[in-house]
Structure 1
Amino acid sequence: MSTQEKLLTLLLEQPTKYLSGEQLGQQLGISRTAVWKAIQALKTAGYQLETKPHQGYRYRPTDLLSAPVIRQTLNAALKTLPLNIYQQLPSTNQTAKKAAADNLATPQVFIADQQTAGYGRYGRTFVSPEQKGIYLSLLLQPTQPLADVGLLTTAVATAVFRAIKDTTGIEVDIKWVNDLYYQGKKICGILSEAITDFESQQISHLVIGIGLNFAASATIPTALQAKVGALFQGQPPLTRNQLIGAILNQFFDLFQTYQNGAFLTEYRAHSLLLGHQVSLQQGQQTVMGTVTDINNNGELVLTTATGPQTFSSGEVTKVNF
């Protein structure tokens, strides 16, 4: 950890107090001049640090993405979780895949302020403007065989749902399998990708990407504005750092037990599809029916003209409300 990060961490640990240069220097084992230089470097990087004569320095929350700030919100078991933050990346999922190829230790978290080549299911472009979204990928190494990657994706959606509710009080809707909606518009997509070991043909790593439109952006293409929304239209009441921390806490808590499917009761309760007629695209086939259940494997159950059918994959392209 750099001197700047150590200094910032000290300020974060006592957010309501001013800490003098002398206090900070004693705790870090550096001179007051070195403290002053570190403070200036943090300000240059975009941090808001209040300076009060004869009292010292105090951190003020900003929306600047920051590993030390996120770490302060994490549960004790996650305090050492590697958080890799970038101003810009082509794609956090692609960066996580490269880390897997390089045998980087897991778990790892990759976060970008902006993506220039973000993508979702079927390779579709995910517009990722700077300072407006949460673009986050988790790199994991399974410790046991995966029963169903689809069940994991529904668990991630539930974790994000819980994080939003706990931090904002907002209850979003979940569209099977990987989308979150708010006020009738999509605000979040989740993409789970498995990496297979060439020799064993077993899944060696998992990459879970979360793209969430945190604040409204004027750069969203006109063609998407009727379908794509954001969690907040005005000034957000919390920072992205706070919501990222909540998402990570919820995810790692749920990841321990997701295979038992207990979370699906909550998932169903906030389903956008249950009880509605839908069109499901699976490959070249379109299936129409009424969604009667999301079963304990996270699969979609449709009642069609020929009877009940169960789907573990596919995309709901139309919903009749």
Structure 2
Amino acid sequence: MSTQEKLLTLLLEHPTEYLSGERLGQELGVSRTAIWKAVQALKAAGYQLETKAHQGYRYQSADILSAPVIRQDLAPKLAQIPLNIFPQLPSTNQTAKKAAADNVTTPQIFIADQQTAGYGRYGRNFVSPEQKGIYMSLLLKPAHPLTDVGLLTTAVATAVFRAIKATTGITVDIKWVNDLYYQDKKICGILSEAITDFESQQISHLVIGIGLNFATTPLIPAELQNKVGALFQGQPLITRNQLIGAIITQFFDLYQTYHDGDFLNEYRAHSLLIGRKVTLQQGQQRITGTVKTINNTGELVLTTIAGEQVFGSGEVTKVHF
């Protein structure tokens, strides 16, 4: 870690204390001048460091994306996972896929304050303004052949649901497969992309992208404003760092055991669709029916005029309220 990161980590370990430049220098093995320069660099980057004469420095919470701040809420094992944070990227998923091609160590996490070419399912544009959202991708290398894809996608949605609940107390709704809704508006989309090894034709890596509208923004196109919302309409109750840390924790907790499907009762309990009439788009085909349930492999079960039908893929394009 750089001197700045070490300094920030040390201040985070003593949230209520002022730490003098002399003490910080001794702890980090650098001069007081180096400490002063690191403090100025952190302030220039947007961190709020309170300075008190004859006492030293103290960290004040701010919503600047920061690996040391995120790590403070992670268990020691998870805190070792590389967090790659960027002011701006075209797309965190694309960056993660490039890293996979370069055979980087996995798992890794890629986070951007802003995306200039963010995308969702079917390549749809995902508006990703700075300081207003969480744009992150997890790069994984499955230890075993990837099976139960329906369970994995529903597990990711459940992990984000749990993270929001744990940090804010807010209960959101889940739209199959993995969109999250709050106050009848979409606030989060999840896009999983598999990378196939050319020689073996087996899945070598998995990229899971999470795009969450954290705070309201005027940049949402007018035609989407009745459909797209945000977790917070006014002043956020938490920081993005806190929610990112919770998402990481909840995801890796579920990732170990998602095959057993134990989380599905929770997923069903907060489903936006069960019991409702919907239209499902699958390729060029549209199917209308009433959602009976989400089955034990994460598939959508529809009751249609043709009888009961089960779908492992597709997109619910309309919910008939």
Residue in 2 that maps onto 1:266:
266
Cα deviation, residue 150, structure 1 = 2.4
1:17-57 per-position Cα deviation (integer Å, ceiling 9, x unaligned): 11011110110111111111111111111110000011110
What does residue 276 of structure 1 align with? 276
**Deviation digits for residues 55-103 of structure 1 (CA, Å, limit 9, x no counterpart):** 1100001111001110111112111110000010000000000000000
Deviations, residues 233-290 of structure 1 (Å, cap 9, x unaligned): 0010110000000000000010000011110010000000000000000000000111
**Does residue 52 in structure 1 map to residue 61 in structure 2?**
no
What's the secondary structure of 1:43's corresponding residue? helix
User: What TM-score results when the alignment is normalised by the length of structure 2?
Assistant: 0.99
Q: How does 1:168-183 map to 2 (within 5 A)?
A: 168-183=168-183
Which secondary structure state, in structure 1, belongs to the residue aligned with residue 8 of structure 2?
helix
**Cα distance between partner residues in 1 of 2:170 and 2:103:** 38
Q: How far does residue 108 in structure 1 lie from its aligned partner after superposition?
A: 0.5
- Tell me, what secondary structure is at the counterpart of 1:139? strand
1:163 aligns with 2:146: no
Separation (CA, whole Å) in 2 of partners of 1:34 and 1:294: 57
Per mean C-alpha deviation after superposition, the further-off stretch among 94-103 and 150-159 is 150-159
What does residue 125 of structure 1 align with?
A: 125
Structure 1 runs (4+) deviating above 3 angstroms are: none
TM-score with structure 1 setting the length: 0.99
Count of aligned residue pairs for this structure pair:
321
The percent of aligned pairs where both chains have the same amino acid is 79
Q: 2:214, 2:278 → 1: CA distance?
A: 28
Q: What corresponds to 1:207 in structure 2?
A: 207
Q: Distance in 2 between matches of 1:75 and 1:253?
A: 11
What's the offset of the Cα at 1:149? 2.0
- Separation in 1 of the partners of 2:236 and 2:75? 23
Partner amino acid for 2:269? A
In the other structure, the counterpart of 2:15 is 15
Amino acid in the other structure paired with 2:290: T
SS of 1:301's equivalent in the other structure is strand
Residue of structure 2 equivalent to 1:33: 33
Moved more, 280-289 or 30-39: 30-39
Which residue does 2:248 correspond to in 1? Answer: 248
The residue aligned with 1:189 is: 189
CA–CA separation in structure 1 for the residues paired with 2:220 and 2:320: 26
Q: CA deviation at 1:145?
A: 1.4
Query: Quick one: distance in 2 between partners of 1:44 and 1:320?
Result: 51
Matched, 1:305 2:305: yes
The answer for the alignment partner of 1:293 in structure 2 is: 293
Q: C-alpha separation between the residues in 1 aligned to 2:76 and 2:27?
A: 22
Task: String of CA shifts for 1:205-228, please: whole Å, max 9, x gaps.
Answer: 000000000000011111110000
In the alignment, what sits opposite 2:4? Answer: 4
2:164 is paired with a residue whose SS is: helix
Once residues 238 and 124 of structure 1 are traced to their aligned partners in structure 2, the CA distance between those partners, rounded to angstroms, is: 29
Listed as ranges, the gaps of 5+ residues in structure 1 are: none
- C-alpha separation in 2, matches of 1:149 and 1:295: 13
Q: Partners of 1:268 and 1:240 in 2: how far apart?
A: 27
- Deviation for aligned residue 1:147: 1.4
Q: Distance between the aligned counterparts of 1:5 and 1:224, measured in 2?
A: 39
Q: Please give the alpha-carbon distance, in whole angstroms, between the structure 2 residues aligned to 1:6 and 1:219.
A: 36
CA distance in 2, matches of 1:294, 1:37: 56
Partner Cα separation in structure 2 for residue 306 and residue 150 of structure 1: 24
Partner of 1:43: 43
Whole-angstrom CA distance in 2 between matches of 1:67 and 1:138: 15
Contact 1:149–1:192 (Cα < 8 Å) also in 2: no
CA distance in 1: counterparts of 2:154 and 2:316, whole angstroms: 15
Quick one: distance in 2 between partners of 1:318 and 1:41? 50
CA distance in 2, matches of 1:41, 1:89: 22
Provide structure 2 residue ranges, at least 5 long, that are not aligned to the other structure: none
Give the Cα–Cα distance (whole angstroms) in 2 for the partners of residues 47 and 289 of structure 1. 52
